[in-house]
Chain A
């Protein structure tokens, strides 16, 4: 779980998570508030970036730590601001355990998924992002940027992200497509609280994301990055 300046909520989110998942790694991505102390109070593993590197890099750090733990089979990424539901994550892992798929991606727009309190403008933007994504990555999803995902070791080991900021979600789909692993979208509920809206992405940042993704695809060498 990547954490950046979430001292107000992170302990609650982690405590809730640890009721279901015993091994929780929180990556403090150079927070300037008391996030690190809150993480330790919640009893999660604390991995701390000395400087802020962005959510994608923080996620990769968490995975690198988790991959190094013997016996780690399934991996879940979860947002720190409390917008995700622990039971959704548990359902995704249960689905992975059946062996039918390698990667489960959360979607708030798939049938029976929910985006409570989502502003209309944000819904439209995410839909536009989804179209852009399926155009550039060739992976067609109903929800492009949901932070709740679960996957097995095979996929976790392939994740190497180079794009800064939120463009990592798009880059991740790129990795997914090239991996040839089986994936499925799973309906999840995302809560748009006043807190998450205040902390979350500015809509205009989607312009930066799109440019980063586009440049990356245009200029990346085809074989091995």
Chain B
């Protein structure tokens, strides 16, 4: 692996970490969506002009056009997975907060015991 490749790999990892740390930045999210449009446009272009991926690969020094597409795909996949992971975690946190509020609202205190055992709060677990 040449030095430039090593630098590129490090740069990608650093950029990924930075982007994920600042994932709530509005500009970054907007950029991500614009990127999505750009990828869509590129897909259409590459269907219309199949040779274009090869030409792009030649331009950046990658041997085959399909390899270039594959790299792009891998990077997109990693970012998408990470994004989903964090979104899911945020959702879980909201869900926990909601369930907690509900549980505390329905708490049964022993003082409620008026001779009979109080009914259990609804639980559809």
* A positions within 8 Å CB-CB of B: 27-28, 30-32, 36-37, 40-41, 43-53, 57, 60-61, 64-65, 68, 162, 164, 215, 218-222
Interface centre among A32, A41, A52, A53 (most CB of B within 10 A): A53
Q: Which residues of A have CB within 8 Å of B23?
A: 219
19 contacts between A and B (CB under 8 A): A27-B103, A40-B113, A44-B110, A45-B108, A46-B107, A46-B120, A47-B106, A48-B106, A49-B123, A50-B122, A61-B100, A61-B103, A61-B104, A64-B104, A65-B107, A68-B104, A162-B89, A221-B21, A222-B21
Count of chain B residues with a beta carbon within 8 Å of a chain A beta carbon = 33
Q: A27-B103, A37-B120, A48-B121 are in contact. Are A221 and B96 (CB under 8 A)?
A: no
CA A219 – CA B23 in complex, angstroms? Answer: 9
For residue B32, CB closer than 8 A to chain A, the reply is no
**B2: interface (CB < 8 Å):** no
CB contacts (< 8 Å) of A218 on chain B: these are 17
Determine the chain B residues whose CB is within 8 A of the CB of A222 once the complex forms: 21
By beta carbon, the residue of chain A nearest B20 is A219
Q: Are A45 and B125 in contact (CB under 8 A)?
A: no
Please report the C-alpha to C-alpha distance between residue A150 and residue B89 in the assembled complex, in whole angstroms.
28
Taking the nearest CB of chain A, how far is it from the CB of B94, in angstroms?
A: 11
Assess A53 versus B96: contact at CB under 8 Å? Given A36-B120, A37-B117.
Answer: yes
